[in-house]
Amino acid sequence: MKHAKTFGCGLAVLTLVAALLPVAAQERGKVELSTGAGKITVSYGRPQLKGLDPLTWQKDGAYWRMGSNDMTTLTTPAELAFGSVRVPKGTYGLWLLKVTNERYELVFNSATAGMGMTHDKAKDVATVLLKKEAADPAVETFTIELPGSAGNGIFVMKWGTVRLSAAFTSAK
């Protein structure tokens, strides 16, 4: 009887470890854009849709941490200008605010560590309107891109059938 209890406990531990492995092994993405002052870098978790569409579940007024596992962060060695919105050099946690089905905003937040499960609006540094377009073809794995050249770039987020973007310039 003693062995049966030990086996049952061991099986429970193995089941728990097996359940956690896919989360721990999930791919992390990193994109960079070189500027005159150095590299702008975004580090983010890359969840997969698996037949779902989480952006449609997000309620109007809700924040999403843009990725999975550890916080998605953007580090910039220079001030970034998204039109009239200025983002000082530094490291920021990135959030996506769904205002409506057609309006999304990129939020730069001073909190950069942890899992990013709770958005603290008091730590918001800047908010940028994103242009919404159809992603064609659809994108299974959450993707962030930084296309551009030395002083100009575009922040691009793609997932499912949605492509969100905002152009920026960087100071030297």
Single pTM value for the model: 0.81
Question: Please, which contacts does 115-119 make with residues 24 or more away whose CB atoms are closer than 8 Å?
Answer: 115/65, 115/69, 115/70, 115/71, 116/65, 116/67, 116/70, 116/71, 116/72, 117/65, 119/63, 119/65, 119/95
Burial of 157 (0-12, 13-18, 19+ CB in 10 A): buried
Strand, helix or coil for residue 27: coil
12: confidence class by pLDDT, cuts 50, 70, 90: very low
Strand, helix or coil for residue 19: helix
| 58 φ/ψ angles, rounded to the nearest 5 degrees | -60, 130
Question: Which amino acid would we find at residue 54?
Answer: P
C-alpha 79/C-alpha 167 separation (Å) is 14
pLDDT of res. 144: 95
Q: Give residues with Cβ within 8 angstroms of 160, minimum separation 6.
A: 49, 53, 54, 55, 135, 138, 139
> Quick one: average pLDDT of 29-41?
93
pLDDT of res. 1: 52
C-alpha 28/C-alpha 111 separation (Å) is 19
> Is 35 a residue whose pLDDT tops 70?
yes
Q: Are 153 and 167 in contact (CB under 8 A)?
A: yes
pLDDT of res. 65: 84
Q: Are 79 and 92 in contact (CB under 8 A)?
A: no
2: confidence class by pLDDT, cuts 50, 70, 90: low
